[in-house]
Amino acid sequence: MANRQYEVGSVVEMKKGHPCGENRWEVIRLGMDIRLKCTGCGRVVTLPRQKFEKMLKKIL
């Protein structure tokens, strides 16, 4: 998965949807952890990079 190209501002689709019904997230911070903002409700979550890459479905 090292060839995946995402950066701050990228919109990504995750395998599992958010409880609000949306499964698209905007990347707002990169580092050891990835901070994501739900495009549906605006909720911000932080995931470890390894878990994020495992749950990532595609980059939009």
For position 5, what pLDDT does the model report?
87
CA triple 47-49-53, angle to 5 deg: 100
- What are the pLDDT digits (tens) for 4-42? 789 999 999 999 989 999 999 999 999 999 999 999 999
Query: Looking at residue 40, what is its pLDDT?
Result: 96
| pLDDT over 90 at 2, yes or no | no
Q: What is the pTM (predicted TM-score) of this model?
A: 0.87
